[in-house]
């Protein structure tokens, strides 16, 4: 029986900036998934490519004084190389600016027009009379029609966060020259998304993959589906058929890039791409980040359905990445760049391991250098690396080759069990479960080694010792095969150390059970995982910290403070337990305030004009508790009373607990 054609894709990286570990949260598990499938005898086509269109790229290119094409070619090359460095190997890494994609996008758009799913409509759009251009998306600033906050053309980024359709924004200003834009009527094209509601409900019910993708999309489809404006006034992009002045919206041609990338691969390999995208039994698996569920579970299947293509069978959405428990943020510096990781000498497989083993694929993944170090040293080095090294070194020193002996039933069944768990983890799209299962086998290996005491046996009964070592080597072999999808390069090294023939990347999973041949020569093993030292981690933490501080400085220039900054203020309720005028001063009163701490605090307040010390006694007041201590009139003050106007004290409106934090 022939295996059904299966294409696996990854969300396309936007060719407008460098790769960060957030990207990898999707790409590494996808690569791992494909590698395991291949070990199980399947042969999916794995494609991806650069997303190259849209206004942010045009805007960015202008600010860099280069053409959009130059910009995207630069990043396209960069992403292609970066993925290879990380062992994420696509069968084809295309570009949405390729001829393949221009052609395919136009063909699909034409198909949608022919089938009556696209209609023209006159809408009022911002037009800059000075620049003489219509202003799409981020070319225009203005006011949100829903909440009144400042907004960009395509979304209310500072207010309610709504997506804005072209023409919705009020008081538009041209982003290029800053002059006031006017509204002009123009014809644009809309995709009848509303016509696909019933189809989408049924489609989503049958969609495989992670529940976060399906549930989230179902929520949207059950609500109101609006028709979707699919054209923009730009030069850069895929021309809308029959209109030289319009390009299709970037979210039209981006997913079509999956098809185009498959076509590019098929053309090179002499294969038929239509089997993969139009065939009746075609299987399509998308790996995406949970931020683009809407596009992949709603727009995309509707487009495919409308144009007569095969539909996605599986959509796997990964959770987001946090850095040190903080929401991932480039502008706040909460980001770790892939180049920074690699340039500091870390092996890519360590990061692959971290991403695969941290948590369930759909949950938020926290990255911290500290945890990175722990995982490397305690799991990779101490458990896996140590087991492989002690086994191979012992074998090399005492036998020089793989010794004779029978593989114990317990060892075979443990490996068998692990293979079963690996298969199950792939069926559930849970790389962590895969790693946990295989690491349990490594643990078993250490335990086995320890309990059989080969270092004693070697003196008494060399033959029995050889058998133990052979069993241990069999476990190492299984580990190498089973972990290749997670750490392809490190496991290749281990494979070589075992003296195994053949390419580990092509060795099927069943080979893990095949008894290793006795007698083949062993060379001196090398250490597989080096210790990650404290200084190294401190250095990386410093890099991160400095970036965050640099970003905070630029934020401080604005009058607004962030919530994080506000949170730093320790404002608490307290009670005055002592109060007396400060001798020699007109306005100062020295008070002792109970803030629910061990002892009351001394605070100086300049309120003698409005209050007498007696009035203050026993009063409940509000205090900024973590103000830097200062000497006033020679007396230390550790905090500040909150008062308004000339010094009218703020007091709690109702009874509060002393020491309660103000929020």
Segment 574 to 633, residues that bind RNA, using CB under 7 A: none
Of 14, 78, 203, 372, the one binding RNA by CB under 7 A: 14
Of 157, 339, 570, 594, the one binding RNA by CB under 7 A: 157
Q: Is residue 321 at the binding interface for RNA, with CB under 7 A as the rule?
A: yes
Roughly what angle, to the nearest 10 degrees, separates helices 348-357 and 431-452?
100
If the CB atoms of residues 404 and 456 are measured against RNA, the closer one turns out to be 456
Of 389, 399, 495, 611, the one binding RNA by CB under 7 A: 389
Identify the CA nearest to 11 among candidates 297, 423, 306: 297
Spatial distance between the Cα atoms of 469 and 175, rounded to a whole number of angstroms: 70
- Pairing, β 326-327 against β 321-323: antiparallel
CB of 244 to RNA, least distance (A): 29
- Interface positions, 169-208, toward RNA (CB under 7 A): none
Of 176, 195, 393, 543, the one binding RNA by CB under 7 A: 393
Q: Is residue 567 at the binding interface for RNA, with CB under 7 A as the rule?
A: no
Of 239, 330, 347, 401, the one binding RNA by CB under 7 A: 330
Spatial distance between the Cα atoms of 43 and 505, rounded to a whole number of angstroms: 13
Give the interface segment with RNA, choosing from 151-159, 297-305, 479-487, 649-657 (CB under 7 A): 151-159
Q: What are phi and psi of 537, to 5 degrees?
A: -70, -40
Identify the CA nearest to 414 among candidates 389, 440, 396, 395: 440
Neighbours of 103 (CB within 10 A): 14
- Interface positions, 25-84, toward RNA (CB under 7 A): 25-26, 56
Of 1, 206, 211, 586, the one binding RNA by CB under 7 A: 211
CB of 468 to RNA, least distance (A): 11
Of 394, 429, 495, 611, the one binding RNA by CB under 7 A: 394
- Interface positions, 231-290, toward RNA (CB under 7 A): 288-290
Indicate the burial class of 647 (C-beta count within 10 angstroms; 0-12, 13-18, 19 or more). Answer: middle
Q: Is residue 371 at the binding interface for RNA, with CB under 7 A as the rule?
A: yes
Q: Is residue 545 at the binding interface for RNA, with CB under 7 A as the rule?
A: no
Tokens of 368: 């911290």
Helix (H, G, I), strand (E, B) or coil at 43: coil
Q: Is residue 161 at the binding interface for RNA, with CB under 7 A as the rule?
A: yes
If the CB atoms of residues 342 and 608 are measured against RNA, the closer one turns out to be 342
Of 5, 13, 485, 574, the one binding RNA by CB under 7 A: 13
CB of 472 to RNA, least distance (A): 9
Question: Which single residue is written with the structure tokens 């502008």?
Answer: 331
Q: What is the DSSP letter of 401?
A: B
Of 215, 281, 520, 523, the one binding RNA by CB under 7 A: 215
Question: Across the chain, which distance is largest between two alpha carbons, in Å?
Answer: 100
Long-range CB pairs of 455-462, under 8 A, 24+ apart, other chains included: 455/394, 458/398, 462/398
CB of 615 to RNA, least distance (A): 36
Spatial distance between the Cα atoms of 595 and 641, rounded to a whole number of angstroms: 12
- Interface positions, 411-440, toward RNA (CB under 7 A): 428, 430, 432-433, 436, 439-440
Count interface residues toward RNA (CB under 7 A): 79
DSSP 336-377: -BHHHHHHTT--HHHHHHHHHHSS-TTS-EEE-HHHHHHIII
CB of 195 to RNA, least distance (A): 22
- Interface positions, 439-498, toward RNA (CB under 7 A): 439-440, 443, 446-447, 449-451, 453-456
Q: Is residue 385 at the binding interface for RNA, with CB under 7 A as the rule?
A: yes
| DSSP3 helix / strand / coil % (the chain, rounded to 5) | 45, 20, 35
């Amino acid at each position: 029986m022939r295996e059904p054609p299966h294409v696996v894709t990854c969300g396309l990286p936007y060719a407008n900036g460098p790769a960060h570990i957030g990207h990898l949260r999707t790409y590494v598990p996808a690569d791992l998934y494909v590698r395991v499938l291949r070990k199980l005898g399947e042969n999916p086509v794995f494609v991806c490519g650069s997303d190259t269109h849209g206004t942010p790229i045009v805007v960015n290119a202008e600010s860099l004084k280069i053409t959009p094409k130059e910009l995207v070619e630069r990043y396209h090359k960069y992403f292609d190389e970066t993925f290879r460095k990380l062992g994420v190997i696509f069968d084809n890494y295309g570009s949405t600016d390729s001829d393949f994609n221009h052609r395919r996008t136009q063909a699909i758009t034409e198909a949608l027009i022919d089938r009556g799913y696209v209609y023209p409509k006159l809408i009022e759009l911002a037009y800059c009379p000075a620049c003489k251009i219509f202003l799409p998306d981020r070319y225009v600033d203005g006011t949100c029609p829903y909440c009144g906050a400042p907004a960009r053309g395509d979304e209310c980024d500072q207010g309610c966060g709504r997506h804005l359709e072209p023409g919705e924004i009020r008081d538009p200003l041209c982003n290029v020259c800053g002059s006031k834009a006017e509204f002009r009527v123009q014809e644009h094209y809309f995709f009848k998304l509303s016509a696909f509601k019933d189809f989408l409900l049924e489609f989503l019910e049958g969609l495989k993959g992670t529940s976060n993708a399906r549930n989230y999309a179902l929520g949207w489809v059950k609500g109101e589906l609006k028709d979707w404006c699919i054209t923009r006034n730009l030069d850069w992009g895929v021309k809308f058929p029959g209109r030289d002045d319009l390009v299709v919206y970037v979210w039209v041609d981006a997913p079509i890039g999956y098809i185009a990338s498959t076509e590019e691969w098929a053309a090179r390999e002499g294969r038929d791409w239509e089997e993969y995208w139009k065939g009746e039994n075609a299987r399509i698996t998308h790996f995406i980040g949970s931020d683009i569920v809407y596009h992949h579970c709603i727009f995309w299947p509707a487009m495919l359905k409308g144009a007569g293509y095969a539909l996605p069978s599986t959509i796997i959405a990964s959770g987001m990445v946090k850095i040190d428990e903080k929401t991932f943020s480039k502008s706040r510096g909460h980001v770790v760049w892939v180049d920074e990781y690699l340039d500091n000498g870390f092996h890519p497989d360590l990061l692959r391991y971290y991403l695969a083993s941290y948590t369930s694929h759909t949950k938020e993944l926290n990255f911290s250098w500290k945890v990175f170090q722990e995982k490397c040293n305690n799991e990779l080095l101490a458990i896996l690396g140590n087991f492989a090294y002690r086994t191979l070194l012992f074998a090399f020193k005492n036998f020089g080759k793989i010794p004779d002996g029978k593989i114990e039933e317990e060892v075979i069944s443990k490996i068998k069990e692990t293979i079963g768990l690996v298969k199950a983890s792939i069926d559930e799209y849970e790389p962590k479960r895969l790693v946990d299962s295989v690491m349990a086998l490594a643990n078993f290996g250490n335990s086995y080694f320890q309990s059989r005491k080969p270092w004693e046996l070697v003196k008494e009964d060399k033959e029995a010792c050889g058998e133990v070592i052979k069993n241990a080597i069999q476990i190492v072999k299984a580990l190498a095969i089973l972990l290749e999808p997670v750490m392809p390069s490190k496991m290749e090294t281990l494979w070589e150390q075992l003296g195994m023939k053949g390419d580990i990347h092509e060795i099927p999973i069943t080979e893990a059970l095949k008894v290793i041949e006795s007698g083949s020569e062993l060379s001196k093993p090398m250490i597989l995982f080096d210790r990650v030292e404290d200084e190294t981690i401190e250095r990386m933490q410093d890099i991160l910290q400095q970036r965050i501080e640099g970003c905070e400085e630029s934020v401080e220039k604005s009058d607004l403070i962030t919530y994080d900054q506000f949170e730093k203020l320790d404002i608490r309720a307290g009670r005055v337990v002592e109060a007396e005028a400060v001798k020699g001063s007109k306005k100062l009163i020295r008070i002792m305030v109970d803030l629910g701490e061990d002892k009351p605090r001394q605070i100086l307040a300049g309120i003698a004009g409005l209050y007498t010390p007696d009035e203050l006694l026993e009063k409940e007041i509000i205090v900024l508790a973590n103000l830097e201590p200062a000497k006033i009139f020679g007396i230390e003050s550790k905090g500040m009373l909150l008062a308004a106007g000339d010094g009218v004290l703020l007091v709690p409106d109702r009874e509060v607990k002393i020491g309660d934090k103000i929020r």
